[in-house]
Amino acid sequence: MKENSGHESFEYVVEQFADLQLLRYRVPGFENLSLRQKTLVYYLSQAALEGRDILFDQNGRYNLQIRRLLEVVYEDYQGDRATEEFRAFEVYLKRVWFSNGIYHHYACDKFVPDFSEDYLRGLVASVEEERLPLEQGETREAMCGKLFPVIFDSSVMPKRVNQTDGEDLVLTSAANYYSGVTQKEAEAFYAAQKAQGGDEPVMFGMNSRLVKENGCLKEEVWKVGGMYGPAIEKIVAWLEKAATVAENDSQRKVISLLVEFYKTGDLKLFDEYSIEWLKDTRSHVDFVNGFIESYGDPLGMKASWESIVNFKDVEATSRTEIISASAQWFEDHSPVDSRFRKEQVTGVSAKVITAAMLGGDLYPSTAIGINLPNSNWIRSVHGSKSVTIGNLIDAYNKAARGSGFREEFVYGDVERNLLDRYADLTDNLHTDLHECVGHGSGKLLPGVDPDALKAYGSTIEEARADLFGLYYLPDTKLVELGLTPDAEAYKAEYYSYMMNGLMTQLVRIEPGCNVEEAHMRNRQLIARWALEHGADTRAVELVRREGKTYVKVNDYQELRRLFGRLLAEVQRIKSEGDYEAARRLVEKYGVQVDPELHAEVLARYRTLHLAPYKGFVNPVYTALTDDEGKIVDVKVDYTEGYAEQMLRYGREYANL
Ligand code: ZN
């Protein structure tokens, strides 16, 4: 993008290719940390980077070898690098880095190169044999014969996560979480474990690959001495250093429990760690490091590896503390059936954080809000810790200024003024409500399996949290609490939510494809449902003007009533574990794309030359040491480029 950040000298935009844009984020306040805290951030940041190879392997069994092959070619090729084919090769490699593998990070389908197989064969032939990432006993030709169909043939292992209703989701997903196992077998295997789980069940299957050996199912556990051992040993070594500079005993205990979990793979220890982590709200520096999110597993059990290191943004945190302090009020006044409400909302803690390092499944593409742990029983007994990542949101907003997006898609001046005036604020507030009170609200009826909604569980859960936030945004309570400046502000979020869910998020979908990702399905589900159910009153409609489609909201209060109605139904589905209703709702409203509208949105978006997906290059931390090797200061630098960073990570954190 041409736009830089106005009068500020910091360049937020690094580069753009395919459908991706790389940004940089600042780490304001790092210099003001104590030496001990800076050292802690440094050690945890190293731990955050050591697990990178784990995620590549989880995302597909050939990813690591493919990445290494491409990197060697990229570094060693002596021929003409200015040709169209080499440029296409470069873009492909950059996409593989971005997606941590050969599948689109968001859409989950395989992206196919814009250069030929023969061209790559020629590039590979030009590289010295000993530089190639050959497996034991493998020849150059055998490697190409194995990897090329995986790279070039769009029918071979086409999807990382397949969610198509009616297919064997395990066999047809290319993610490396199962081997030789059918969906039925995997479900039966874990149903048997869950039956033994008791009231406080661990997250079965979370940290292992399920394989069939000699007709028997067994788990290959990710731990020191097990699968991914070499990477996990490095992570553990940095965590052990971090423990020596922990801010307090509570944080030291958190780190040592995580280390014990990594050493044993014992999921009970992971629960203990999660509870300690949850309770530690005093530490200024905090981190996530482990097997966390299960979006990459079609059955929603296996967790991908990720890490974030951060510290508290004290000023911005006061906003989320106000929301958390009123959690019970929100719960008591929500429009859901009283049977599904929590009598007591416990431990909804919330803060705004400054990200200092992103790793694994949070890099380069990242979340802007996190709510953990994911264990259902821990959430209901101990609550959850919720954060929004202030400096990343700020980087998105700064980089998007003046992009022309609102001019193209927003209906008129009234709506544009609303957005200009309130959207940054109400968008943050919606995220806060989603994370601080949305996910934490409601309860399952006794005996309901938390995984009853299976493949639809993630979408329903995200819809629940989004609707909870949407429902409360217009509430006078928020004005009373000083969170919104006036009774108009919420309209900015309502408008942009509907516009995004009905139209503009489609820029992230390839022509002819459906909506796959849980958050996107959730947003379309809510927007489409509200459009259909608001048709009688014309609360919201799609209108045409000069050949272009726009979202027009005629009655914001009616829209709120609709969100409340849908929230009640979505909570019922979750509380009762009503799989059939979840399936119907998601399939009817969340999945299908109107091809005509889709084509129009893509065409309009193309004229803006924007990238629909964004990710971040990390800062570089350098530890300065004295003669005895003791750290005396940690410096942060923002100048590293995208390819430069990826190649360095490939060298320095090549653990698998
Ligand atoms: Zn969420």
Q: For 559-571, what is each residue's pLDDT tens digit?
A: 999 999 999 999 9
- Distance (angstroms) between ligand 1 centre and the Cα of 336 equals 19
For the segment 362-379, what is each residue's pLDDT rounded down to a tens digit? 999 999 888 899 999 999
Specify the long-range contacts of residues 250-256, CB closer than 8 Å, at least 24 apart.
250/276, 250/279, 250/280, 250/282, 250/283, 251/280, 251/283, 251/285, 254/280
Residue 440 · residue 405 · CB < 8 Å: no
How far is 230 from 223, CA to CA, in rounded Å?
9
Residue 71 · residue 132 · CB < 8 Å: no
Q: Which of 49, 16, 40, 110 is nearest to 363 (CA)?
A: 49
Residue 352 · residue 386 · CB < 8 Å: no
Q: Which of 648, 647, 624, 644 is nearest to 634 (CA)?
A: 624
Minimum mean pLDDT range among 1-5, 80-84, 252-256, 497-501: 1-5
- Distance (angstroms) between ligand 1 centre and the Cα of 389 equals 13
- Distance (angstroms) between ligand 1 centre and the Cα of 55 equals 21
Provide the pLDDT for residue 384.
Answer: 87
For the segment 216-228, what is each residue's pLDDT rounded down to a tens digit? 999 999 999 999 9
Residue 154 · residue 112 · CB < 8 Å: yes
448: left (phi over 0), alpha (psi -120 to 50) or beta: beta
- Distance (angstroms) between ligand 1 centre and the Cα of 465 equals 6
Q: What does the pLDDT average to over 550-577?
A: 98
- Distance (angstroms) between ligand 1 centre and the Cα of 69 equals 36
Tokens of 209: 């690959």
pLDDT band at 346 (very low <50, low <70, confident <90, very high): low
- Distance (angstroms) between ligand 1 centre and the Cα of 476 equals 24
For the segment 139-150, what is each residue's pLDDT rounded down to a tens digit? 999 999 999 999
- Distance (angstroms) between ligand 1 centre and the Cα of 591 equals 18
For the segment 33-76, what is each residue's pLDDT rounded down to a tens digit? 999 999 999 999 999 999 999 999 999 999 999 999 999 999 99
Q: 3-class SS at 155?
A: coil
Query: Which residue(s) pair with 382 in the sheet?
Result: none
How far is 358 from 362, CA to CA, in rounded Å?
6
- Distance (angstroms) between ligand 1 centre and the Cα of 444 equals 17
Read off φ and ψ for residue 505, nearest 5 degrees: -70, -15
| Angle, CA of 57, 62 and 68, to the nearest 5° | 85
- Distance (angstroms) between ligand 1 centre and the Cα of 650 equals 31
Residue 538: pLDDT above 60?
yes
- Distance (angstroms) between ligand 1 centre and the Cα of 310 equals 19
- Distance (angstroms) between ligand 1 centre and the Cα of 157 equals 29
